[in-house]
Amino acid sequence: MTDTTFKDPRKRPAAFGQAGVSFLSVLLGLAATGCQTATETSPASETPAVEAATVAPAPSEANAAEAKLLGTHLCSLQWISWDDFGTVTVVRGENGRLRMTGGQDAAGSSGDYLKIDGIVTPLDETSFEFEGVIRTRVSHIAGGQEVVRKGTFQFASTQGRQYWRLQQMSNPQDSVTDYVDVYF
Pairwise CA distance, residues 166 & 130, whole Å: 9
Please give the model's pTM, rounded to 2 decimal places: 0.67
Residue pLDDT, tens place only, 28-62: 343 443 434 333 333 444 444 444 443 333 356 66
Q: Alpha helix locations (H) across the chain?
A: 14-33, 61-69
Nearest Cα neighbor of 100 from 133, 124, 146 is: 133
28: left (phi over 0), alpha (psi -120 to 50) or beta: alpha
Pairwise CA distance, residues 183 & 170, whole Å: 20
Q: What is the pLDDT of residue 143?
A: 97
Q: Which CATH architecture has domain 61-183?
A: Beta Barrel (2.40)
Pairwise CA distance, residues 133 & 145, whole Å: 16
70: left (phi over 0), alpha (psi -120 to 50) or beta: beta
Q: Where in the chain is the domain with CATH 2.40.128?
A: 61-183
Q: What is the DSSP letter of 42?
A: -
**Which regions in the chain score pLDDT beneath 70?**
1-62
Q: What is the pLDDT of residue 108?
A: 82
Q: What is the pLDDT of residue 126?
A: 97
Q: What is the pLDDT of residue 61?
A: 64
Cα dihedral 161, 165, 169, 171 sign: negative
